[in-house]
Amino acid sequence: MLILGLETSCDETAAAVVQDGVAVCSNVVATQHDLHQRYAGVVPEIASRAHLERLMPVVQDALAQAGVAAGDLDAIAVGNRPGLVGSLIVGVSAAKALAWSLDKPLIGVDHVRAHLHAAQLVDAGDAPVAGPTYPALGLVVSGGHTSLYQLSEDGSATRLGRTIDDAVGEAYDKAGVLLNAGYPGGPNVDKLAQTGDPHGPDIPALPISMLSADSLDFSFSGLKTALLYAVRGHPEGRGKSATFPRSIDDLSDTRRADLAAAFQHAASQAVVRKLGRALKQGPQVHALVVGGGVSANSELRKRLTAFAQEHQLSLHLPAMAYCVDNAAMIAGYAALRLAQGDTDDLHLPVLATSRT
């Protein structure tokens, strides 16, 4: 079973060919970091236009790398939710055109649910990895999502909690700006933190939000604000007249690294503590399945590994290439739907939010 997957939910233009839901024959991703860097964040209109320019060359590259012709495909899959509507329209329109012209099934995929399939992906020719034993906990940590799920053997995912404000990846991007670490914030803050001490001299203890006593939701806005004050001091005045007593230029490289480490410590602790709370509240689970761009973070991977060992859970983390937004996870998850005869018609909509 060969499926071509397309992914354009945000600022990555991606196409991939996946065999039998797990073997990645090609995985092509065209990033837009150079286009959005000056804005320190994704500009939806720029992202949409870039997808228009890049998608078909990326598709052609994916087919060529996989060594297959379009007629060899068994289905066309596309991420149709959630995401930036303008970006999603580009990918879904292309997928519909390809499915119609090739007379192949069309499969719309929830981007968040696909992240939870990414841990099962392997490069074509490599030995398959063992899948999770269900029921399992699922964790998606990315630039747009921080969500916790209970996963069942029938493929269903029941959401247990989600962020009530900023996603953890978004908080990392803001931290990258505050610490002058560069864009995208996630990998750059992680790199800066490697030389820092979260408990260094005069480094404040940044908040680890737990919300109410039984909440499985996440919140990172307070952490982001606390980092702002740690870098610039508390504002003087209000509104447009407010000023800060210092700027990032007043901080030494050592203090910047320490603050990056403190931020990373607090962010990862918030995630892991909620996982512990979920274990206490819910039914017994046997595995922890993780996906999303922030699952590439070195501190979080270390803490998730220790958590799984402590609680005797099998840990399923995606390979680095499949942590960030990619089309292989779209095609891989679509194979499960195709095997059940579950496909979509050409009226497939785009949705800004997830149904999962």
Domain boundaries, the chain: 2-121+321-339, 136-317
CATH superfamily of 136-317: ATPase, nucleotide binding domain (3.30.420.40)
**Structure confidence by residue, pLDDT tens digits, 295-348:** 999 999 999 999 999 999 999 999 999 999 999 999 999 999 999 999 999 999
- Say if 2-121+321-339 and 136-317 have the same CATH topology: yes
pLDDT, position 84:
95
Cβ–Cβ < 8 Å for 289, 139: yes
**Structure confidence by residue, pLDDT tens digits, 120-158:** 999 999 999 999 999 999 999 998 899 999 999 888 899
Query: How many Cα atoms sit within 13 Å of 183 on the Cβ side?
Result: 17
Helix (H, G, I), strand (E, B) or coil at 26: strand
Burial of 346 (0-12, 13-18, 19+ CB in 10 A): exposed
- Cα gap 286→130, rounded to integer Å: 13
- State the chain's mean pLDDT as an integer: 95
pLDDT, position 100:
98
Alpha carbon distance, N-terminus to C-terminus of the chain: 26
Taking the CA atoms of residue 288, residue 170, residue 266 and residue 175 in that order, the dihedral angle to the nearest 10 degrees is: 150
pLDDT, position 155:
84
* 340-345 contacts, C-beta under 8 A, 24 or more apart: 342/107, 343/75, 343/105, 343/106, 343/107, 344/106, 344/107, 344/108, 345/106
pLDDT, position 187:
95
Helix (H, G, I), strand (E, B) or coil at 106: strand
pLDDT, position 356:
73
Taking the CA atoms of residue 184, residue 185, residue 187 and residue 188 in that order, the dihedral angle to the nearest 10 degrees is: 100
Query: What is the CATH architecture assignment of 2-121+321-339?
Result: 2-Layer Sandwich (3.30)
Burial of 67 (0-12, 13-18, 19+ CB in 10 A): exposed
Consecutive H or E run containing 75? strand 75-81
Phi, psi of 286 (to 5 degrees): -115, -10
pLDDT, position 173:
93
pLDDT, position 354:
85
Instruction: Give the residues of the chain that fall short of pLDDT 70.
Output: none
For 243, which DSSP code?
Answer: B
pLDDT, position 32:
83
Q: Token pair of 216, please?
A: 């499985």
pLDDT, position 198:
97
Please choose, from the candidates 261, 251, 253, the residue with its C-alpha nearest in 3D space to the C-alpha of residue 190.
Answer: 261
pTM of the model: 0.94
pLDDT, position 38:
83
Q: Token pair of 204, please?
A: 């404040």
pLDDT, position 40:
77
